[in-house]
Amino acid sequence: MAPPGAVAATAEDEDEGEFVPCQFSDDEESDEELEHGQGCRCPLCVHGDGGTGASHQVLQQMEDIDRNMTGKVSDKAIWQLQANMYQKHVTEPLQRQGIKAPTVTPEDCRKHFSRHRVNSKRLVGEDIKFINSMQKQFRRTQILSRNTLTGETKMNAQAIRQWTQLSKHKLDLIKYYNNTLSKNDGKGTTSATPYAFT
């Protein structure tokens, strides 16, 4: 049997407790933005030109791909394609010249293009997903409550109003995503032949 002191402490822990920040399960990458900046070790930020200056064009084309394909194919496919481009057009040519070349993984591309570079379409897409997960959480925990004794259920009118606001905001963002952001695809793309490598 536990000593009386321990029992009291446990009961206290259960009663009180404090709220600390936590993350939604699908929004867990907030630290990566902080890594960027002075002393950033992202190979695409640091060695974007492969140390030669010659691959600025490749990096530009990787960005074009990012801008033009976001929302059309999976992000995973984009990052794989970008990593392949870097490997083929920066890393391998340098290695053939006997130069120690940086390698870039799809994971590097994910961090760089989703956290270090601003792609407004992807940002707005992430906001939409975040609002959506907030709504789910809200619906699960705030809107309906049930009396544990009588079983009677009760709706929270204020929570419903807040949920509706989230819903409206989400819809506005979706419209913006589908209209403004999707029409701008390819604008500002300087190269007429983005895939023509030599």
70 strand-pairing partners: 73
* Number of chain positions touching Zn ion (CB under 5 A): 7
For Zn ion, the closer CB: 67 or 112: 112
Structure tokens at 31: 């630290």
Q: HEC string of 8-38?
A: HHHHHHHHCCCCCCCCCCCCCCCHHHHHCCC
Would you count residue 45 as binding Zn ion (CB under 5 A)? Answer: yes
CA distance 153 to 155: 7
For Zn ion, the closer CB: 11 or 123: 123
CB of 21 to Zn ion, least distance (A): 24
Restricting to residues 152-171, name those near Zn ion by CB under 5 A: none
For Zn ion, the closer CB: 112 or 122: 112
For Zn ion, the closer CB: 78 or 170: 78
Among 47, 67, 110, 112, binds Zn ion (CB under 5 A): 112
Would you count residue 110 as binding Zn ion (CB under 5 A)? Answer: no
Among 44, 104, 109, 181, binds Zn ion (CB under 5 A): 44
Among 49, 52, 81, 116, binds Zn ion (CB under 5 A): 116
Indicate the Cα dihedral angle 57, 63, 65, 71, nearest 10°.
180
What distances in angstroms separate CA 96 from CA 77, 92, 104, 195, 198, one per listed residue? 27, 6, 17, 22, 15
Among 42, 58, 90, 94, binds Zn ion (CB under 5 A): 42
3-state secondary structure of 144: strand
Stretch that binds Zn ion, among 65-73, 75-83, 112-120, 153-161 (CB under 5 A): 112-120
For Zn ion, the closer CB: 116 or 139: 116
Q: What is the DSSP string of 66-83?
A: HHHHBTTB-HHHHHHHHH
CB of 178 closer than 8 Å to CB of 71: no
Residue of 68, 109, 107, 101 lying closest to 85 (CA atoms)? 109
Stretch that binds Zn ion, among 15-23, 44-52, 118-126, 158-166 (CB under 5 A): 44-52
What is the contact surface with Zn ion in residues (CB under 5 A)?
36, 40, 42, 44-45, 112, 116
